Amino acid sequence: MIPLLKEGRKVLLLVVDCMRLDQWMAIESVVAEYYNIERKTYFSILPTATPFARNALFAGQFPDEIAVDYPENWRNGDEGSLNRNEDELLAGQLHRAGIKAADSIRYEKIFNNTEGDALAKRAADFYQSEMVAFVFNFLDILAHGRSTNIILKEIAGSEAAFRSLMKSWFIHSPLFSILKSFSQKDFTVIITSDHGSVLCSRGTIAHGKRDTSTNLRYKYGDNLNCDTKHALLIKKPEEYRLPSFGIATTYIIAKEDYYFVYPNKYNEYIRQFQNSFQHGGISLEELVVPIAIMTPK
């Protein structure tokens, strides 16, 4: 992105939250009708979760650096609000790189198709901008919704079925409409994700206090513990470039297809989250992220 902006090229950055490499490959041929595509991959960071991986992507920094430079980001520790300053993080990264467009970034976050349709209708508002960034959260919502929605679980019962559902959504989505409209303009489009997801089928017990983070594939808090065959135990967050929230902050990150359950709610968690898509842990499906550099045909 930065070399392109330094050359004076216009850039559209599209971040599709929770998009796996295989999911991108399922829709790449559809997009290839409009763009020349150079596909690459890169590794997400740990934990492979939005508050960490997407902030790191926008800031060009590790989470411990973000915690120092943007302390208000982590102050309340509420995971749901940790990504509210992505435009500020992106501007900071471009400023450090000496990019003039840093002060005039156009940034939008889209949570559902209604918001996406409204954005697609005003795509022309962005054509004069040098740097445009859109974040689409639909796939992440779909992956999490599958855990609680019986119909979704039936429709997307396997990884292949989930890919098919994702492709069906994409073809009729505002995201594809936006891609088609920008294919008529002089933009280089970069489409990527912050992390993938993995189909979880095994529960492993997490030991910690009630106030630890709620994610099923990673947790942080005071004096956490786990079975180290099933999860990575991080007692020194700084070794993994992660912020500390107190003297005894530890992280536990699930491996392979494990997810964390608490001893007192073991059966309840197994019943609800068995064979659900989750992220935040250590697996190739979560860590290997697609990135496509696309120029209009």
Strands 288-296, 187-192: pairing kind: antiparallel
Of 166 and 284, more confident: 284
Q: Which of 134, 130, 168, 133 is nearest to 152 (CA)?
A: 168
Average pLDDT over residues 122-142: 89
Residue 78 pLDDT greater than 60, yes or no: no
Q: Which of 238, 206, 211, 214 is nearest to 222 (CA)?
A: 211
Model confidence band, residue 232 (pLDDT cutoffs 50, 70, 90): very high
- What tens digit of pLDDT does each residue of 167-200 get? 988 999 999 999 999 999 999 999 999 999 999 9
Q: Hey, where are the domains in the chain? A: 2-196+285-296, 198-278
- The answer regarding whether domain 2-196+285-296 maps to CATH 3.40.720.10 reads yes
* Count of C-beta atoms within a 10 Å radius of residue 91: 22
- What pLDDT, on the 0 to 100 scale, is given for residue 97? 92
Residue 67 pLDDT greater than 80, yes or no: yes
Lowest mean pLDDT segment, chosen from 3-17, 24-38, 94-108: 94-108
Residue 96 pLDDT greater than 70, yes or no: yes
Lowest mean pLDDT segment, chosen from 69-78, 121-130, 132-141: 69-78
- What tens digit of pLDDT does each residue of 257-283 get? 999 988 777 777 777 777 888 999 999
Of 104 and 148, more confident: 104
Mark 222-236 as b/e (b = at least 16 C-beta within 10 Å): eebebeeebbbebee
Model confidence band, residue 60 (pLDDT cutoffs 50, 70, 90): very high
- What pLDDT, on the 0 to 100 scale, is given for residue 238? 94
Average pLDDT over residues 70-90: 73
Residue 79 pLDDT greater than 60, yes or no: no
Residue with the two structure tokens 């069906």: 168
Q: Which of 239, 209, 210 is nearest to 224 (CA)?
A: 209
Whole-number Å distance between alpha carbons of 244 and 241: 10
Q: What is the DSSP letter of 44?
A: P
Whether the Cβ atoms of residue 259 and residue 283 lie closer than 8 Å to each other: no
Whether the Cβ atoms of residue 73 and residue 85 lie closer than 8 Å to each other: yes
